[in-house]
Amino acid sequence: MNAPVKPEPGTAIRAALDDEARALGFAEIAVTRPDAIAAAGARLRQWVGRGRHGDMAWMEGRIDWRASPAALWPEARSVIVLAEPYTPEGDPLAVLGQPDRAGISVYGQGRDYHDVVKKRLKRLGRWLIERAAKENLASEIKVFVDTAPVMEKPLAEAAGLGWQGKHTNLVSRRLGSWFFLGAIFTTLELTPDTPHDDHCGACRRCLDICPTAAFTAPYQLDARRCISYLTIELKGPIPRELRPLIGNRIYGCDDCLAVCPWNKFAVAANAAYAPREGAEAPLLAELAGLDDAAFRARFAGSGVKRTGRGRFLRNVLVAIGNSGGNSGDPRLTGVAEAATTDADPLVRGHAVWALSRLAGVARYRAAMHADPDAFVAEEWRLGLAEVSSRSQSGLPPSSGA
């Protein structure tokens, strides 16, 4: 009688790793090789070469590491990719119909996922090292959550967690679109998983709903037009032609994720990502009144804090400028006017734009004043031309008087 075949150490560890990952709360786990995304690296270089990364200089600065995980850490033999759901309970697009309130992306409403996921990755990594030692295997790990030069989405696709949909985000048949990714690089040889096919088919809901037409083609995104980029990554003024298209989205945009049909399989979010008090549809007038200390206190522990008060209020004032119409709040005209004297020129300039959208010509002229900042001065000039043109055409302001 033949003795049972003892599995290879890496195979035994892999089976236990899956169980441990799920015990720690991860919804999915898959493994790939560091050299599995060569094609993604080439696409990244082409994308950056076309300038579609905007002013995200960090994309270009470490492009060699992003393009090749093996270059980032040559000793790595396996990449473990894990998924963490943050599925919303309600309709994340409902706030778009409330012009006096702010739309904050679902992932920005709870605790900062960088902190939550990294802690869990470190626990899993420590477990992996201890388990490998029991098999007399030496091992090292490195953990990554979005802030390092790692292309998590292509790695997750190569590992079989899902596929990059036409909106360039990862889609899973088991999780839909609402999940974060984390990665553990390890020197262990682990059994890799097999990627599966793209299942987007003929669907183009994510492309058609984009407010700013940021998708140049299926699977191709121009970040410079993406609302998530404009409200989070862009450091300077938001281009004037894109401001009206942003609506009341002040931190990120969920439109392309929310309409994905695969979300019917989405699973409940980790409790850590439950919306914080005041994070769901807060009043624009309330947010516009935050000074730096109040901003930091309100968004402590949240990803929103990373934008800083200046960029955050820039976004709030764009939303205020878009709040007009019959359902708008006339009081927001006064909020915009008050912000034209803010200490931050980025805030002042967007406040001027908002005022030009909401005020009549008499009120706008009365509020005008010289500004030492060239950007703000130009906003006053352009705003006056637009308000005057609207008045001459007999068109009322969007809101206020």
pLDDT tens string 244-286? 999 999 999 999 999 999 999 999 888 888 998 889 999 999 9
What pLDDT score does 398 carry? 66
pLDDT-flagged residues of the chain (< 70): 1-10, 325-328, 398-401
Predicted local distance difference test score (pLDDT) of residue 153: 96
pLDDT for position 326: 46
In angstroms, the CA 85 to CA 80 distance is 17
DSSP 305: G
Residues identified as active-site? 146
pLDDT of residue 391: 84
CA neighbor of 194 nearest in space, from 67, 76, 31: 31
pLDDT reported for residue 329? 82
Neighbouring C-beta atoms of residue 194, cutoff 10 Å: 9
Q: Which residues of 115-150 are buried (b: 16+ CB within 10 A; e: fewer)?
A: ebbbebbeebbebbbebbeeeeeebebbbbbeeebb
**pLDDT on residue 400:** 42
Reading the block at residue 195, the tokens are 């990627």
What is the rounded distance in angstroms from the CA atom of residue 329 to the CA atom of residue 332? 6
At 239 the pLDDT is 98
What global pTM score does this model have? 0.93
Instruction: Output the pLDDT for position 10.
Output: 65
pLDDT tens for each residue of 110-148: 999 999 999 999 999 999 999 999 999 999 999 999 878
CB of 76 within 8 A of CB of 34? yes
Q: Where are the domains of the chain?
A: 9-90+110-186, 283-390
